[in-house]
Structure 1
Amino acid sequence: MNIKRFVQVLSLFLILTALSYSLYKSGFAQEKTKLLEVGQGAPALTLTNTAGQRISLADYKGQGIVLNFWATYCPPCKKEMPLLADALTEDIAVITVNVGEPTRLVNQFLQNKQLSLPTLLDRKEEVYTLYQVTNLPTTFFINEKGEIDDKVIGELNEQLLKEKIEQIQPK
């Protein structure tokens, strides 16, 4: 075997070895990632709201929580925002999490739509990742015990929102 052929075979072997190791490690890492499921405790989160205050999910302990992930460029998100604003009650907290957008843009959107919703800013998409959100909008319904009662991927309508809120209403 000549030297050129030997180098080619060795290079191919090293590339395949590196690829195999990479696939093994990524598959192994995925096994350790626990998927969010109904009945599981909602992961703790602390983010800054549009006024610059730090807000935690724990601040709403004992209440039912509607946790909605959205963005200003998302048409279904825009459509459901007024429904979410109307859902705020004494026993139900509605918290929206804007994903990856600048504060000024979010504030301008809320002001133009005349919405006064507690809105947290996930500029680095850390909570988006923590909650394993894959599409916008996504809404988590969290009961007064802090457990995920349900999750809706996609746009909420009035009837669906009402049903889900009834499920998380504190007893």
Structure 2
Amino acid sequence: MIKKIFAACILFGVMGVAVVQAMEKDEPKSDHLTGLNVGLTAPDFELKTLEGKTVKLSDFRGKKVMLNFWATWCPPCKAEMPAMQKFNEESGDKIVILAVNIDPEYDVAGFAKQMNIHFPILLDEKDEVNKTYKILTIPTTFFINEKGMIAHKHLGAMTIEMMREYSK
């Protein structure tokens, strides 16, 4: 009797997993992601760089933009920085990388120097852009097309291959 109950529980468990997975296959992946979704216009913002220069997202309309949200204390953020720098070097002026730092109270300049980063790092000192983009996990990266629309979104660290693919 116990064997039959145990077998029935396993059978119902497997069936439940199969049903959930089948239902998820029909839903677009972007619906599962937190924050702003693909297809929306990327909200404009204005932030200062490490050097004190003011940068607006709308300044780059007509260009592709890789907008990355990160923090110095975040291991996946640190892990993807070398790939971002390499991607920046190989992209030249075809793709603009804007890295929005959400923890400017830390030594962001020291971090950038240590990691040998040469793309613009923007400081979200008032946490406004972070809230506008509804960032719940870092790193989060948006790929914005020439028209200012969110073309791709990725949660978590990326490889350079992913960056190349998303920026096509």
Aligned counterpart in structure 1 of residue 93 of structure 2, from 68, 90, 95? 90
Larger mean Cα displacement after TM superposition, 142-151 or 111-120: 111-120
Q: What is the one-letter code of the residue matched to 1:36? A: L
Name the CA distance, whole Å, in 2 between partners of 1:87 and 1:57: 19
State the match for 1:9 in structure 2: none
Q: Please list the CA deviations of residues 112-135 of structure 1 after superposition, one character each: whole Å capped at 9, or x if unmatched.
A: 111112000002211001001100
Kept in 1, the 8 Å contact 2:84–2:160? The answer is no
Kept in 2, the 8 Å contact 1:69–1:98? The answer is yes
Q: What is the one-letter code of the residue matched to 2:149? A: E
Q: Counterparts in 2 of 1:82-161, with a 5 A limit? A: 82-88=82-88, 89-102=92-105, 105-161=107-163
- Indicate whether 1:52 and 2:52 are aligned: yes
Name the CA distance, whole Å, in 2 between partners of 1:134 and 1:40: 18
1:158 deviation in Å?
Answer: 2.0
Name the CA distance, whole Å, in 2 between partners of 1:36 and 1:137: 14
- Specify the structure having the higher radius of gyration (Cα): 1
Identical-residue share of aligned pairs (%)? 39
Q: Counterparts in 2 of 1:11-30, with a 5 A limit? A: none
What runs of 5+ residues in structure 2 fail to find an aligned partner? 1-34
Name the CA distance, whole Å, in 2 between partners of 1:37 and 1:151: 7
Name the CA distance, whole Å, in 2 between partners of 1:36 and 1:110: 27
State the match for 1:74 in structure 2: 74
Q: Please list the CA deviations of residues 55-74 of structure 1 after superposition, one character each: whole Å capped at 9, or x if unmatched.
A: 00011111100000000000
Q: Please list the CA deviations of residues 63-92 of structure 1 after superposition, one character each: whole Å capped at 9, or x if unmatched.
A: 100000000000110111111122222110
Kept in 2, the 8 Å contact 1:49–1:121? The answer is yes
Q: TM-score, normalised by structure 2?
A: 0.75
